[in-house]
Structure 1
Amino acid sequence: MSTAVEYAKDFGADLHVATVLPDFGMPVVRGFFPDDFQEKAQSDIEDKLAVFCDEHIASKIGAHSVVRVGNVYEEILKLADEISCDLIVMASHRPELKDYLLGPNAARVVRHANCSVLVVWD
């Protein structure tokens, strides 16, 4: 996160901090969760992400928290297009062999984004 904050400060940009929840409403998994689970989980994450942004980022730059539901890389790409993003900064774990075969979310974002992508190893 610090890399994204530094870039935003250096370039006078706003930072959109996004997280993507899995879609628990899919027929395969819907029956394993209470009816209102998706809404409660999303509301809880929205509150926590907003607090995180306020406490750790907002005093330094303009920060916006965004919670999406769905496929991680697809939702990141949609958001980037919606806000006319100039740069996507995302964390990624160090790749393992299976990631080269299956493709992690970061790799998919890099391949399909309409803007530059900076991947920061965590």
Structure 2
Amino acid sequence: MFKTILVPIDLAEPDSSGRALNAAIQMARDYDATMHVVTVVPDMGMSIVGGYFPEGFEQKALDETKARLKAYLEDLVPGDVMAKGHVMHGGIYEQILQIADQLSADLIVMASHRPAMRDYLLGPNAARVVRHAKQSVLVVRE
């Protein structure tokens, strides 16, 4: 049923991301699917904000995130599951939707916290992905 599963993770939230990853691992096994794990490094936004960071800061952040994602996958993904890591840069939900389309993902499996009142007004990234994704989305709660 699913051949390409996308799993967006937040390396700063290993507990909630881990639950989504575990669900995706089981689904990848069940469907003999390839799992793509993506993390997004947010951009700095306006150039005036970037001016407060040292030159090369964004590239260094991307390089360090790639290394952290590689270690995360080596530690948590069993050898019988095909998993590929991706680091994106930009707006979080936009990058998730973009890579889902690029990879022709069948399913997005992602974590979400319990909504707070502010989330009903602003909308968290998971809610935006659910609303705008062309793919099926499984949201794994805390």
Place the TM-score, normalised by the shorter chain, in its bin.
Answer: over 0.9
Distance apart, 1:76 and its partner CA: 0.2
d(CA) in 2 for partners of 1:19, 1:34: 23
**Unmatched 5+ residue regions in structure 2?**
1-20
1:8-87 residue pairs with structure 2 within 5 A? 8-24=28-44, 26-87=46-107
By relative contact order (CA 8 Å, sep 6+), the higher-ranking structure is 2
Q: Which amino acid aligns with 1:27?
A: S
CA distance in 1, matches of 2:105, 2:98: 10
Q: Give the Cα separation in 2 of the matches to 1:107 and 1:60.
A: 31
1:116 is aligned to 2:116: no
Task: Tell me the TM-score normalised to structure 1 length.
Answer: 0.95
Identity within the alignment, %: 49
Deviations 1:28-83 (A, max 9, x none): 31111111110011001101101211221151300111111111100000000000
4+ long deviations beyond 3 Å: none
What is the number of equivalent residue pairs in this alignment? 122
Give the alignment's Cα RMSD to 1 decimal: 1.2
Do the aligned partners of 1:25 and 1:38 also contact (CA within 8 Å) in 2?
no
Q: How high is the TM-score relative to the length of structure 2?
A: 0.82
Equivalent-residue separation in structure 1 for 2:78 and 2:35 (angstroms): 9
